[in-house]
Structure 1
Amino acid sequence: MVKAPRTSAKGGNVTHVGNKAKRQELVRAYKKEKNKEKLLRRKTQAKEEVLGGEEGARKKAQRLAKNVPRTIENTREFNPTILNAPNTHPGRGPTNAVASTSAMTLDSGDEGRSDEDEEERQSEDDEAAKQDGAAEDADAEGVDADADEYDDASDIEDGAEDVEDSDVDMDPHAPPALLITTALPHNATSPHLNSLNARSHPFERTRQFIKELLNVFPGAEYRSRAKAKGVGLGKIAGWARKRGYNGMVVIGEDASSKLPVYLTIIGLPKGPTAFFRLTSISIGKEIYGHARPTPHTPELILNNFTTTLGHTVGGVFQSLFPKIPQLEGRQVVTAHNQRDYIFFRRHRYMFASQDKAKLQEIGPRFTLKLRSLKKGLPKGAGQWDGIVDFDGTGECVDPKGEKADEAEALREMDVGESASATSKVKKAQRGDEVVDGLEFEWKPKMSVSRRNFYL
């Protein structure tokens, strides 16, 4: 009987070796030799690409085109709502695809023409330009004479719209007025807090986070939820809308962990309402080597908001900052979207040289995950008459609303209507409020496939 050789790995296969220790030794030797060959091959390839000139550059390009790593980003499923493609809409741009195609055909047709044909075409173009110039000079006086009448007519027709636009866009440097408050936890989530007053006061970590947000948003103002006296978020939004606020930021916290876990951004006066999951919070003093904030208006950078939903969410963040930043402050706020997680960061940049800049993080840093997006305001805000009447007090929310409802109900009972009729009246009153549907709502089944992203 002939025994099998015991000193070779036979291409990595060592099943013919009966001794386990010997098999392990052969495998280690085989892997070591294989790694040496791989390293030698990579060194030789790199030397050829660097010192090979044009041939080396061509080999490197072929290698990079062939060896494309498979990642979650490049295996993302196509989303038809992506808006970062070139604009080919027929009504946009100077010429677009149709005009560019015609220009290409004209250029390709002119290649075979002689110099004489080119000179004739140039002379014809010059004559046509002279005729057009004469016609424009002749019509100039008539256009100037009618200019004032046209402007007056347009002012009369668009009077109301111009007034509204001027009020909204009066000062692009002015920060939007933001109301920051906290959510009211339910009794089921905080049974140890029996009174409404106790449940209205946030925990220490939430208060620290609110202080950081007041430094981030230039026009932010904090009001305690206890001042609302237990009313819902919709009525608070209606109260803020009536008093000239441009947006609301509501922070929800978890009673068990005593940490802020939700963030709601409400655009006033019409919406939208975006509800985010809040995680990974680090305030400024917890960041190593952090910089000190200044009261300057920061710049805003939005990354990877490419779909229609992403543009809407990006508009929500834009509404929290002034349109024109103060560049002398050198502060930058970044909202970076990656796999539908929004990473919020604030930095100050420093010019190290003419070509390089360094970043120093200020804080806070946190991560947002969009859970729902609704067009309008939260339920209970009611109809808006477009009148802003800011009295500057804000002690309570809609103090006459409940009394008006009670008076209306008593009046209906005095005229002899039944309780069912009264309920119908109340339903009709609630039906006057237009509540827009959800544009987006996160569901657990949406996280099954890691190749579907919506922002």
Structure 2
Amino acid sequence: MRGAQASGEGDDAQLRRTGNVSHIGNKYKRQDMYQKYRKEKARLKLQRRLKTAKEERTSTEGKLRRKERLAKNKPRTIENSRTFNPTVLNAPNTHEVPAWMAEQAEKPAAQAPTETPSSEASGSDSGSDEESDEASDEEDEEDEDGEGSEPSEAPPMDMDAEPMPDLVDPQQAKYDVDADPTAPPAILITTSLPSNSTSPHLASANARSHPAEETRNFVKELLSVFTGAEYRPRAKAKGAGLGKICSWARARRYDAVIVIGESNKKPCTLTLVQLPLGPTALFRLTSLSYGKEIYGHARSTGHSPELILNNFTTALGHRVGRMLQHLFPKVPELEGRQVVTAHNQRDYVFFRRHRYEFRSTDKAALQEIGPRFTLKLVSMARGLPKGAGAWNGRFVDDLETDDAPAQPQDDTEHAASDDGVEFKWKPKMSASRRNFYL
């Protein structure tokens, strides 16, 4: 009996140390013993955590140990283990950067050459200054006699001359003439043209162009976000393609075109076309919630909101961020206290709109207005959609006042100069969860 008790105590001690129950022959006994081991392990772990938390909270040494522990125990997340991307322009601003990105940030600072202070140059021997003066006098004499060194081809620089202006595209410059920084950009919002498969009983394209109720509600939300937006039903286009619509909007000084695509009577895609030169971006639209569906939502006003762009780190991300930036005025109306946030997290752009209020000198609160939705970049193409043609830099109002006849555009000769695909998402790109493109 004593031997059996000793062996049982030895098995319990081994179980508490390692959790190994393979030596127990009975299946149900093994399961029962292993469950007891897991409960005892969780209980001991909880006791250790509570004891450590109490020590770190009460004593000064415990607070120092807590700082050391947090500095040492850095979890390995998807963000800080991001795959190397050579197109990264800046580090993200909301989470820890990976090691290879931190090394890139340290290299330019270490390789920067140190400039010689002017005090060291002024502290040189006076003899060298005299020699340099004599050499310059000799060079002047040789130049007067025509026997010196060959004159340089470049003329002397005129310090009083005005600096050379930056090269600006003349087509884009027409949009910037007399631009008011507080004026909201002119945006044309329309819907996609459904196919016959969604409405087979309607033979006319105009009859099929009426959007669903969910799509119309989303368009109303966008009209409240973009104060300079205007909605035109797709039926008014009379079956014209997206390229023709963009050409029509470009000639009427619109800054962007937004097309809402629907599937199963719900909005599913968002196409953003930046005018007058592009690019064209197609986003997948998910997780849509309207303002009335958000608990404790605020009411929207007609003020232009502020814009916050987060974590657009690569060259493609900067391109997407600039497209979103051009949808809002350069100078917001601060009295409206509205702020729009486009937060990029793992190539998903989360769109939120809030109103903030100052409750005290050091505290502020946010109240969401809506809508909220998520965008996933599907494709990015240079230029405008097919069928827009090249632009001659003239607007409709210019043509009305100008007596010169407008030259007809030939799509074959005046095709878009840059209509190549810059980015196209493919399913194989999601094989690695640590590979981000924005």
- Indicate whether the TM-score tops 0.5: yes
Alpha-carbon distance between aligned partners in 1 of 2:289 and 2:43, rounded to the nearest angstrom? 45
Equivalent pair of 1:6/1:17 in contact (CA under 8 Å): no
Equivalent pair of 1:233/1:378 in contact (CA under 8 Å): yes
Aligned-residue offset at 1:388? 1.4
Alpha-carbon distance between aligned partners in 1 of 2:428 and 2:159, rounded to the nearest angstrom? 63
Equivalent pair of 1:234/1:377 in contact (CA under 8 Å): yes
- Counterparts of 1:27-426 in structure 2, within 5 Å, are 27-53=34-60, 55-85=61-91, 97=109, 101-102=113-114, 150=161, 164=173, 167-168=176-177, 170-254=179-263, 257-390=264-397
1:429 counterpart SS class = coil
Aligned-residue offset at 1:447? 1.2
Aligned-residue Cα RMSD (Å) equals 3.8
- Provide TM-score, normalisation by structure 1: 0.73
Alpha-carbon distance between aligned partners in 2 of 1:159 and 1:357, rounded to the nearest angstrom? 42
Equivalent pair of 1:244/1:390 in contact (CA under 8 Å): no
Aligned-residue offset at 1:252? 0.7
Aligned-residue offset at 1:44? 3.3
Aligned-residue offset at 1:3? 5.3
1:437 to 420, 433, 436: 420
Q: Deviations over 1:349-398 (max 9, x none)?
A: 111222221111111111111000112000111110111114999xxxxx
1:102 counterpart SS class = coil
Please list every run of 5 or more consecutive structure 1 residues that lacks an aligned counterpart in the other structure. 87-95, 111-116, 125-144, 394-399, 406-425
Amino acid at match of 1:77: T
Amino acid at match of 1:60: R
Alpha-carbon distance between aligned partners in 2 of 1:182 and 1:203, rounded to the nearest angstrom? 10
| Gap change, CA 1:6 and 1:21, over 3 Å in 2 | farther
2:327 counterpart SS class = coil
Alpha-carbon distance between aligned partners in 1 of 2:29 and 2:176, rounded to the nearest angstrom? 85
Aligned-residue offset at 1:21? 4.7
Q: Deviations over 1:376-429 (max 9, x none)?
A: 000111110111114999xxxxxx99xx79xxxxxxxxxxxxxxxxxxxx8x82
Aligned-residue offset at 1:435? 4.0
Map of 1:136 onto structure 2: none
| Gap change, CA 1:369 and 1:154, over 3 Å in 2 | closer
Aligned-residue offset at 1:31? 2.8
Give the percent of matched residue pairs that are identical in Structure 1 and Structure 2: 60
Equivalent pair of 2:188/2:230 in contact (CA under 8 Å): yes
Aligned-residue offset at 1:197? 1.6
Equivalent pair of 1:379/1:435 in contact (CA under 8 Å): no
Alpha-carbon distance between aligned partners in 1 of 2:202 and 2:222, rounded to the nearest angstrom? 26
- Provide TM-score, normalisation by structure 2: 0.76
| Gap change, CA 1:169 and 1:265, over 3 Å in 2 | farther
Alpha-carbon distance between aligned partners in 2 of 1:160 and 1:300, rounded to the nearest angstrom? 26
Alpha-carbon distance between aligned partners in 1 of 2:25 and 2:168, rounded to the nearest angstrom? 96
Indicate yes or no: 2:430 matched with 1:447: yes
| Gap change, CA 1:390 and 1:279, over 3 Å in 2 | farther
| Gap change, CA 1:323 and 1:430, over 3 Å in 2 | same
Aligned-residue offset at 1:160? 11
2:354 counterpart SS class = strand
Alpha-carbon distance between aligned partners in 1 of 2:233 and 2:57, rounded to the nearest angstrom? 65
Q: Deviations over 1:199-223 (max 9, x none)?
A: 1111111111101100000100011
Amino acid at match of 1:79: N
Aligned-residue offset at 1:49? 3.4
Hey, which of these two has a bigger chunk of helix by percent?
1
Amino acid at match of 1:177: A
Work out the number of aligned pairs and report it: 380
Alpha-carbon distance between aligned partners in 2 of 1:430 and 1:449, rounded to the nearest angstrom? 43
Amino acid at match of 2:352: R
Amino acid at match of 1:295: G
Alpha-carbon distance between aligned partners in 1 of 2:201 and 2:414, rounded to the nearest angstrom? 36
Alpha-carbon distance between aligned partners in 2 of 1:353 and 1:190, rounded to the nearest angstrom? 56
Aligned-residue offset at 1:69? 2.1
Alpha-carbon distance between aligned partners in 1 of 2:172 and 2:186, rounded to the nearest angstrom? 20
Aligned-residue offset at 1:302? 0.7
Please list every run of 5 or more consecutive structure 2 residues that lacks an aligned counterpart in the other structure. 93-107, 127-157, 401-405
| Gap change, CA 1:27 and 1:160, over 3 Å in 2 | closer
Q: Deviations over 1:232-285 (max 9, x none)?
A: 10011001000111110011111xx20011100100100111100111111111
| Gap change, CA 1:344 and 1:168, over 3 Å in 2 | farther
